[in-house]
Structure 1
Amino acid sequence: MGVPGTRGAPPPEIEKSELFAVDAYRRSFDSTVLAVDREQNRVALARTAFYPGGGGQPHDVGTLRWDGGSARVTRVKRDAGRIWHWLDAEDPSSAEASRAPLPSASTEVLGELDWERRHTLMRTHTALHILCGVIWSEYRIAVTGGNMEPGRGRLDFPLDHIDTGLGRRVERRINEEVDRAREVLVDFLDRSEADLDPALIRTAVGLIPREIDPLRVIDIVGLDKQADGGTHVADTAEVGRVAVTGTSSKGRSNKRIRIELRDPPAPG
């Protein structure tokens, strides 16, 4: 199946072309080259499982293979309505130039993600949503900013101050939610419905362009629900242990909480 727990059919154009949005566990895929940009050494594909980056989550990397060639995918980004994949030579230490030969338009290709990196980002992203839910449950304040890399990330909140025990309390609460193995669901909501949902208003849905309709929503059942385009694990237990590595002030009413993944998730 796709993303475990998916509720509601995604828009047909998303389901057909943006595989990462409907199946976060897909490691490889076949596709066709739609367009070639030789100046930037990049290609656009008919469909892709490579996440193009956004919302603080980095883009995926991996490999693209075709009959007679292969290349490393080093960058993925939305640009002018398409998702572009930048290609470099698969062996960067070779004497050849690092720019890879490009497949021609209409070429059939096989894409393969760097799965270890992607899965770590899925765990990290879900851990940040757990942090967001924990802070909301205690303070009823929304996140104001954030960023992540594989295995670590941070979120900012409009807290007036940070007491000495905040990091320890938050770390304990995050890991309690990990232990609860809460299901992580993916839904697609009509914009009119999403705008009326109090659980989404706290994530500043009003800042999302009106033309994005329906909204993709991530729901950690019973804890956190918000519009989000990134990739996540199927339940909180898959995140594994999380440590709060720091809290700091980034202004009069803006405080930062940093987290890192520690032990890998339990097998099974």
Structure 2
Amino acid sequence: MKTKLLYQTNSYTYECSAKVVAVSGDEVALDATIFYPGGGGQMADRGTLSWDQSAYQSHIIAISNRNGVVWHTLDYLPPHSGTEVTETIDWNFRYRSMRTHTAFLLLCSVIWREFGVQVSGGQIYPDRARMDFAMEYLEKDRIVELEQRVNAVIEADHPIHTYMLPREKAYALSGLVRAKMNLLPPHLEEIRMVDIVGFDLQTDNGTLVNHTREIGGVQIMRSENKGRLNKRLEIVLKDAL
């Protein structure tokens, strides 16, 4: 049985009940999870599982999605299969990840519109994010302009909606190139779409805010040449400066 991915429909859920459906060593699989297992450059969530009316609690030290089943690695002897547990997210970590990840997508959109190039890699950290773009030149004055454009989109407070679309219908949409859909696992029958209303449409599986203004603002802190056709930008949320 595949795990129901609750974070895909509501990134703001920070606590829920679930049932243990399988146990393997110090790992448990649940029928549903609010924990993002990591991927696409975004770090896995942090938090705890508790059971028996909170008599037992374990920190989640790792999360992985294997063939549609999300396994949660615990730092305490895991509960038996069939146990009802309470999942609790480290909300401060989650919300900062949501804001940074959404800013990541906005920068990808702005650079695609400006230069027509894809993001070739990236990583989101607790306090910043870095993105690599397949481009040869990126002058300093253009970097300032990119930062201004991203912040203008943030300030415009675009709503952000997500929904699932059959894979063949997603592939049929034109201009959906920022996410490199050809790299998506072939077993995925549905693709999660992210509609930044009035601005852009992308594919993404991570956690996101509901309105762009929640990001608060970003600053491009650094730029690096990482090869002849690879430029790296590092961004931070303004309230982290």
TM-score, normalised with respect to structure 1: 0.84
Q: Which residue identity lines up with residue 34 of structure 2 in the other structure? A: A
Aligned length: 238
CA distance in 2, matches of 1:213, 1:80: 13
Measure the CA separation in 1 of the matches of 2:216 and 2:127.
11
Instruction: Name the structure 2 match of 1:218.
Output: 194
Contact 1:24 1:233 in 2 (8 A): yes
Indicate which of 6, 10, 28 corresponds to 2:15: 28
For structure 2, which runs of at least 5 residues remain unmatched after alignment?
none
Separation in 1 of the partners of 2:7 and 2:93?
A: 14
Which runs of structure 2 are paired with 1:114-263 in the superposition (5 Å)? 114-263=90-239
Find runs of 4+ consecutive structure 1 residues off by over 4 angstroms: none
Please give the per-residue CA displacement for 1:62-120, whole angstroms capped at 9, x wherever unaligned. Answer: 011001311111211112442111111xxxxxxxxxxx121111111001000010000
Q: Which residue pairs with 1:112 in the alignment?
A: 88
**What is the one-letter code of the residue matched to 1:37?**
S
The structure carrying a bigger strand percent of its residues is: 2
Structure 1 gap ranges (5+): 1-12, 89-99
- 1:260 Cα deviation from its structure 2 partner: 0.3
Distance 1:59 1:202 in 2: 22
Contact (CA 8 Å) 1:134, 1:223: kept in 2 or not?
no
CA contact (8 A) 2:179 2:204 kept: no
1:66 counterpart residue number: 51
- What root-mean-square deviation, in Å, do the aligned CA atoms of Structure 1 and Structure 2 show? 1.6
Q: Read off the aligned partner of 1:208 and give its amino acid letter.
A: L
Preserved contact between residue 109 and residue 178 of structure 2 (Cα < 8 Å): no
Give the deviation of 1:51 after TM superposition.
0.6
**One-letter code aligned to 2:72:** H
Q: 1:49 aligns with which of 12, 30, 34?
A: 34
